[in-house]
Structure 1
């Protein structure tokens, strides 16, 4: 199957917000000389092709402020080209310059990559720009961008007269790609990880015999590329990274993210609230998998330890209020503190006096006077962790089956995604099923036997092993391992899951349940993920937005058409916390990352709204007006021909 794309106004607005920066620019390009030492000792001059900016700073500033007014954004004032204002420590053969930076903010799942790809083609058509570099923070995002360029190539080819375009992932073993990037007169798009060029020892910054003693970076610098940063909060978040971006000698820097940490010259904004109200993303339904009202035995969970200002521990315990109600709360305790007192004198905690706190990395824990101890992220007195995990898995499969019953006739493939914190819990070192895989298969077969799902049992007759699978990295010996998501070991993992994107959407593919290590928290998503299950510890660094981000996109059918039915596009999150905790955390994250304040009247709510204004003017009646008035009254029977009022007028 092939995914289909259509022109959407909000995406067009985002594209125009960038392209209109260059209003007044004539279509042109710059050339520069590349000297190559040939084998026959002959000197050959070849022209390189770069971007040329022909408008001045004043024009660009005026264009930017016009765009900001149009999109109801705060106007940039003062030093708008503040960009990179520190000395360059790398050797540069051309003068370092400050490149203006601009931000586009778009909620996850609304087509950020599509927008900046279309912007590339539009800037080429309007202004002749040909050299573009997309800088990414991780392997996952790099592979996602490359896959997006692949699946949109035919779409953009049809819209832009099949203009020649080459896109490639920078590979230090293929330096000739950089030379072609510099010399080609066509659209050239290089995708590169920030780690590939931010150190002086990177190959891209080393002189190469194949490049006549020049560095690959010098070739890039001469092209004056337009640099696109995907997820800048993870790319140029250090002085070294900012310096590396400046080293590219960009014509300008375009920053695309849903969660900007630095909002520099904001041109366009589509918030999570906007996306939801416009029906551009799935609705979210949270299924809570936590134990409530289990207050009849002492419950203690260790949430954190610290020795910054004396030893302290944050403990979650059941606290009794003055009115007798009991609720689960987090308290801060120091050595010697008695949980009997902290719990509101609940007898269940008698004897639980804090004896010691261990802050040793990897061994964080607390010990009580009665010799019981709790490790970080663990609990005593709670329900067996595996019982909760099994409940999450079962509820995910059940929600998956329920959607399949409704969506199969619509031609919609349903996928579920499980995040796990340890690969061994799904697949052991020798390749055998881990505890999560065993739980899944047991729950799957048990639910499939229900009469309610008889239709699914008839339809899905493939081997159990084909129904679910995991995407994990392997070491050189082929052993599956945990990784962060930005290492060389992740390459094959992401290549596989990205290459399978359309295949996963097809009914021909038997895979419906995907397990992945938590490193896959960014860079990959699939429009038909309808369930996200987080089989991770409470102390995980996963944010709520990362949990939902992998399944926010609107789903597609077997023809690749986007389905916009709100009743269909519902994402279920199987959370390991209460609904109130999840909702509160998600709302707080959105407020911190976007500036949107829930329940608070903000200026942005009113800017751009329209209203009707009636203006009353006092005016003296002249002779002409009087004649018109009398004529009207005669015509409508209010006045006799001789001027006397009629009964109607009285």
Structure 2
């Protein structure tokens, strides 16, 4: 199989544009040659920038022009405003599993297309990630060739034994991508007496004409992309190494940045989960219930604050004689007999010592017992718990196989262990034997597959689930020189070999032809590998935890793929079950704490810039952002009204006002009231983690589904339409002319004078920049590009229309000042006006009696939800449970259920879509109302509160207008309406 990639995911396009737009106004540097010689070649390319050693990236924009672009992008994305360009470092934050690697590789192609940049270096923290990036370049190559026709790209992993690759990197005019591990160039010593201490890339070499290999890189001014910068340049030495590449700019991509330079795009964990860009997380835990017959103790935490303290979890008897498991803070000398309510089983457990030393945290008792941090005593056997975890994971796996195999989706499960000998051991002759976890797995697997419900999994020869348990599981571990697997830290050469293998077999693991389904891996596998079809993750760790919860779930967050390699976006399928060795509440709380610590996200806080990116349409039809000043004023209003603390933390009063819809914005913000409320709601959201115990599966309500009323409703909305767009060209021309006349003046491109201090010493010649001057008095003569062709490609308008716009706007002097910037600005204006006119000019026509979908569409879904969060029990809908996306939908559904005049209703399936010029649109509800028993009314209703964010408001309005025209064209008596709340909608009937 081959993985296929989707090219139109808006969040990824936004991330790409957030970097490429930094260079708006940069003239394209085209290179139509390869330099034939490394020394003094006279070959020339059109607008090419040639150096002594090859062909280089070149930036024409000044720092203040870059900063202007940076601030515009940050405002668009609702991010903090930068005040300087910070060494041309730019940060993109994307949650694990959302396609970070895809985004930065696509950014390379986009920067080449827009500006002609050709030299790129991807710096990674480990060999494991290096191999993963190289694999991504390999499997995405065909995809990007189809998107960027004519773009030639060469990529390679830096190898110090193949220095000729650096010569090609410098001299080729194709896109050149070098992937390099930070360790390959971190050591750069200037001591002439220790030349062998430096990496080879920093040493003079005969094969490079006596030059240092890194010089061939430096002269290209590469764009450096750092993958996982928190692991790459966390030391000063690593930062010096990055600087030694002489980057044009540095792009930093991670989900967990430690240092954030010029944040350009942010897709945090909460946004990723709520927008269903990654799998939903469901937590299971195996624990003992109601057994208080042994002295149970768990060490939760230790600290040295006003003396040594520890938090213990104990079984405590209250005054009524009821025993409950609770946490208590204890100090040295305290007796657990007293703390437990004088329970005899705790006799002898007196705190003798509390050790807070990092890595050795523990509590010791006077009876000789000791308890390390995170460990427990007195529960049922740890092996019994582990067996329960393994069995539950296998059952989850097989249940998913039943659902997903018919859809061509292979299911994988991942077990994390901390000691390899729990999975595989060796006898005295060195022969491998199964460890206790492998034996437990095979015993539990053999029991479960005998259940009648799973027999179909073994009877389908196309699928080939093996009933031999030894064939479906295997371990990925490091191997020593004798071929034995072993415990490692995760950063050794043996680990690298192991991780290379698992990365290179990603497609193989996804194929039904491979019997492997269950993967056991060392806990050190914390980054560099994931697989889209990991649906279960189980932690079988006895010692102190070495992985964070984010690292665990990161191995399986990516949306799954089928046997055709196609990404599956159905949220009902994309669920990750985590078999945790802690309770649901503890897992959720600790995961949130990790996210706050690692990403800087603040749950329940509103920042001063939070409202800046809200967009609206002004009186002239122009799209504007609220801006940083207005956002700070609005934040100040919340503070003055005592709705937030000075830190930005939301107070209970604001939460209640938002929940009760009583919050009112100042009069000057009424035009964006809903968007402001949405931003506040988002700040209150927490990570949506589900408890598996609350899971329900929606079943068809046959009484409703097969009833005449639902059939009557469906027969009015099931038909297809086609659309056409008639655009008023005269109006478009006039609006574009007016907007171009209003746009700010585009200044001339300026020359700059750079002065540098030259230093000559034994290690070579270097220069240090000392001053920069702008030479405004010198005019630069440009060769003017074909503006008509450029605007035609961008807008698809005729040359005649474009000529009219340009002539009537009378701004061609600006074109002469800075051709590229002028073309980009005019293109943006025209495209913006075209979008505004789409909804007005669109017309829908019904296609005879061609059904959009048959009623059986509802039978094709399997819907799962969770009581207490996104599911409610209902009687009048097609399913017995409704699975809902928001509180607005939940409130609307509850009112539909209670209203006697509503006879039947349904939430329309995701595949019920109306085609529009700006993407498919899925309405919310179909409703049949029997008005006073005399008249039946049919509605399709869009609940307005379901809009994702203020950024999408304009596009949602377009789709709503298209929805109205689609249903009007059906001529079946169905009415399309938008409802802010139920009462408003019902009163309007």
TM-score computed with the length of structure 2 as normaliser: 0.57
Per-residue deviation, residues 48-87 of structure 1 (Å, max 9, x unmatched): 122111111111111111111111212112xx233xxxxx
Given the superposition, is the C-alpha separation of residues 350 and 199 from structure 1 closer, same or farther in structure 2, using an over 3 Å criterion?
same
**One of 140, 144, 163 as aligned partner of 2:128:** 140
Among 520, 533, 536, which residue is 1:531 paired with? 536
Residue 336 of structure 1: how far off its partner (Å):
2.4
In 2, Cα distance between equivalents of 1:307 and 1:278: 42
1:446 and 1:484 map into 2 onto residues whose CA distance is: 35
Provide closer, same or farther for how the CA distance between residues 208 and 610 of structure 1 changes in structure 2, counting only shifts above 3 A.
closer
* Shift, 1:432, TM fit: 1.6
Counterpart CA distance in 1 for 2:516 and 2:278 is 24
Q: 1:339 aligns with which of 333, 336, 339?
A: 336
Aligned mates of 2:63, 2:99 — CA distance in 1: 30
Measured in 2, the distance between the counterparts of 1:322 and 1:144 equals 59
CA deviations on 1:172-217 (whole Å, 9 max, x unpaired) are 2222222222222211111111122112222222222222222222
Q: What CA distance in whole angstroms lies between the structure 1 residues aligned with 2:618 and 2:73?
A: 26
The alignment of Structure 1 onto Structure 2 pairs a total of residues equal to 590
Is the contact between residue 129 and residue 529 of structure 2 (CA under 8 Å) also seen in structure 1? yes
**Do structure 1's residue 59 and structure 2's residue 56 form an aligned pair?**
no
Aligned to 2:288: 291
Which residue of 1 is the match for residue 709 of structure 2? none
Among 560, 564, 573, the residue aligned to 2:565: 560
- Tell me the equivalent position of 1:92: none
1:64–1:367 CA distance, 2 compared to 1 (3 A): closer
Q: Say if 2:483 is the partner of 1:495.
A: no
Distance 1:72 1:379, change over 3 A: closer
Within-5 A mapping of 1:449-468: 449-459=450-460, 460-461=465-466, 463-468=468-473
1:110-129 residue pairs with structure 2 within 5 A? 110-129=98-117
Moved more, 233-242 or 454-463: 454-463
Candidates 154, 163, 169, aligned match of 1:175: 163
TM-superposed deviation, 1:462: 5.9
Which consecutive unaligned segments of at least 5 residues does structure 2 have? Answer: 41-50, 189-197, 620-666, 669-989
Alpha-carbon contact 1:538-1:576 (below 8 Å) kept:
no
Match of 2:141 among 139, 147, 153: 153
Structure 1: runs of 5 or more not aligned:
37-44, 83-98, 617-650
Q: Does 1:211 align with 2:208?
A: yes
Name the SS of the counterpart of 1:318 in structure 2. Answer: strand
User: Which whole-Å CA distance do the structure 2 matches of 1:332 and 1:204 have between them?
Assistant: 56
Equivalent in the alignment of 1:81: 85
Alignment of 1:436-585 (within 5 A): 436-459=437-460, 460-461=465-466, 463-537=468-542, 539-585=544-590
Q: Does the 8 Å CA contact 2:445/2:469 hold for their aligned counterparts?
A: no
Instruction: Tell me the distance in 2 between the aligned counterparts of 1:470 and 1:27.
Output: 51
**Counterpart-to-counterpart distance in 1, 2:603 and 2:290:** 29
> Which string of whole-angstrom CA distances, capped at 9 and with x for unpartnered residues, describes residues 450-505 of structure 1?
11111123342464332111111112222211223222212221221111111111
Greater shift after overlay, 256-265 or 389-398? 256-265
SS in structure 2 at match of 1:279 = coil
Distance 1:291 1:196, change over 3 A: farther
CA distance in 1 between partners of 2:229 and 2:396 (Å): 36
Answer with 262-271 or 425-434: which moved more: 425-434
Shift of 1:317: 2.7
Post-superposition offset of 1:306: 7.2
Whether 1:3 aligns to 2:9 is no
Q: Tell me, what secondary structure is at the counterpart of 1:185?
A: coil
What is the SS of the residue equivalent to 2:425?
Answer: coil
Aligned position for 1:435: 436
- C-alpha distance in structure 2 between counterparts of 1:204 and 1:2, whole Å: 36
For the structure 1 residues 353 and 114, does the alpha-carbon distance in structure 2 shift closer, same or farther, using more than 3 Å as the test? same
- Cα 1:386–1:75 change in 2 (3 A) is same
Cα offset, 1:313, TM superposition: 5.0
Q: 1:331, CA displacement in angstroms?
A: 4.4
SS of the residue 1:191 aligns to: strand
Are 1:384 and 2:381 counterparts?
yes
The alpha carbon displacement at 1:29 in A equals 7.0
**Does the C-alpha gap of structure 1 residues 177 and 574 become closer, same or farther in structure 2, counting only changes over 3 Å?**
same
CA contact (8 A) 1:417 1:529 kept: yes
How far apart in 2 are the matches of 1:463 and 1:450?
15
Alpha-carbon distance, 1:518 to partner: 1.2
Contact 2:279–2:557 at 8 Å: present in 1 too?
yes
Aligned pair in 2 of structure 1 residues 328, 140: CA closer, same or farther (>3 Å)?
Answer: farther
| Cα shift at 1:148 | 0.9
CA–CA distance in 1 between the matches of 2:30 and 2:385? 62
Contact persistence 1:394–1:444 (CA under 8 A)? yes
Q: Distance in 2 between matches of 1:324 and 1:204?
A: 73
Contact 1:285 1:573 in 2 (8 A): yes
SS of the residue 2:264 aligns to:
strand
Given that 1:377 and 1:537 are in contact with CA atoms closer than 8 Å, whether structure 2 keeps it comes out as no
Q: Find the aligned partners of 2:107 and 2:368 in 1 and give their Cα distance.
A: 64
Which of 588, 591, 594 in structure 1 is aligned with 2:596?
591
Aligned partner of 1:164 among 133, 149, 152: 152
Change (3 A) 1:571 1:363: closer
Work out the CA distance in 1 between the residues paired with 2:330 and 2:211: 62
Bigger mean CA offset, 172-181 vs 218-227? 172-181
| Equivalence for 2:392 | 395
Structure 1 residues 188 and 383: alpha-carbon distance in aligned structure 2, compared to 1, 3 A threshold? same
Would you say 1:193 and 2:165 are equivalent positions? no
The TM-score normalised by the length of structure 1 is 0.85
Which residue matches 1:68? 74
Shift of 1:585: 1.2
Deviations 1:99-123 (A, max 9, x none): 3101111111111100000000111
Q: State the Cα distance separating 1:265 from its structure 2 match.
A: 0.7
Cα deviation, residue 311, structure 1: 5.9
Distance 1:250 1:324, change over 3 A: farther
C-alpha change, 1:111 and 1:363, in structure 2 (3 Å) is closer
Whole-angstrom distance in 1 between the partners of 2:482 and 2:573: 44
Quickly say closer, same or farther: Cα 1:600–1:400, change in 2 above 3 A: same
Q: Is the 8 A contact 1:503 1:509 kept in 2?
A: yes
What do residues 599-641 of structure 1 show as CA deviations (whole Å, max 9, x unaligned)? 455556644445799999xxxxxxxxxxxxxxxxxxxxxxxxx
SS of residue in 1 equivalent to 2:58: coil
From 218, 222, 227, the equivalent of 1:221 is 218
Q: What is the alpha-carbon distance in structure 1 between the residues aligned to residue 319 and residue 609 of structure 2?
A: 43
Of the three residues 338, 345, 352, the one matched with 1:355 is: 352
8 Å Cα contact 1:139-1:490 kept in structure 2: no
Q: CA deviation at 1:135?
A: 1.0
**Does structure 2 conserve the Cα–Cα contact (< 8 Å) formed by 1:139 and 1:485?**
no
Cα distance 1:377–1:9, how it changes in 2: closer, same or farther (>3 A)? closer
How far residue 233 of structure 1 moved from its aligned partner, in angstroms, is 1.3
